[in-house]
Structure 1
Amino acid sequence: MRELFLVEADSDELGWQERALCAQTDPEAFFPEKGGSTREAKKVCQTCEVRVECLEAALGNDERFGIWGGLSERERRKLKKRAV
């Protein structure tokens, strides 16, 4: 199972993760099998107060797996391409 926390980041930068709703739910939902539903994870992200910080961390660390900031891997790739 993949860990949701960034190990190499400074502890001050990780403060948002302590407030993340995903830390209080089943982590498996955020890393579904290929072709599996992302609905449950995205529903949690919709109401999370640190969604923006989570997405920024995923983009900054080039996370290639899982739901981060309410976006799937494919959605993050599209977002990055549009930003270029």
Structure 2
Amino acid sequence: MTVISRLPGALEEEWDWQLSGACRAADSQLFFHPAGERGQAHDDRDRAAKAVCARCPVREHCLRHALATHERYGVWGGCTEEERRGILRRRRNRNRTRSRSRTR
């Protein structure tokens, strides 16, 4: 579940980037796997979703949004759930390393 407290406010400027998303012309099911989807079908769907993201003019904004809100499901900004978790984990580790080096 998305962490609601991390979502930007109701200001239109915070959300209007979504109007330019390449995904608006695609079936939303392409970006969210059905329960139990595994193997080749899962990989093929992710690849197709990422192909849409690859041509998207707001891809970077979308990914920043998904990372900031800890979006748990779907392909956002060309990254799967697992890929986003990896990005966030690397950021946390990098921040911990920086914090430790400052306290020494």
TM-score where L is the length of structure 1: 0.85
Poorly superposed stretches of 4+, deviation over 4 Å: 6-9
1:1-80 pair list within 5 angstroms: 9-33=10-34, 34-35=37-38, 36=42, 37-80=45-88
Percent identity of equivalent pairs: 41
Q: Supply the distance in 1 between the matched residues of 2:87 and 2:20 (Cα, whole angstroms).
A: 25
Note the C-alpha offset of 1:10: 2.4
With CA pairs under 8 Å and 6+ residues apart, which has the higher RCO, 1 or 2? 2
**One-letter code aligned to 1:81:** R
Decide whether aligned partners of structure 1 residues 9 and 54 sit closer, same or farther in structure 2, where only a CA change above 3 A counts: farther
Instruction: Please list the CA deviations of residues 31-70 of structure 1 after superposition, one character each: whole Å capped at 9, or x if unmatched.
Output: 0224223111100000101000000000111100000000
| Cα root mean square deviation, aligned | 1.7
Point out where structure 1 has 5 or more consecutive residues left out of the alignment.
Answer: 1-5
| Matched length | 79
**One-letter code aligned to 2:85:** R
Decide whether aligned partners of structure 1 residues 9 and 65 sit closer, same or farther in structure 2, where only a CA change above 3 A counts: farther
Note the C-alpha offset of 1:80: 0.7
Higher helix share: 2
TM-score where L is the length of structure 2: 0.69
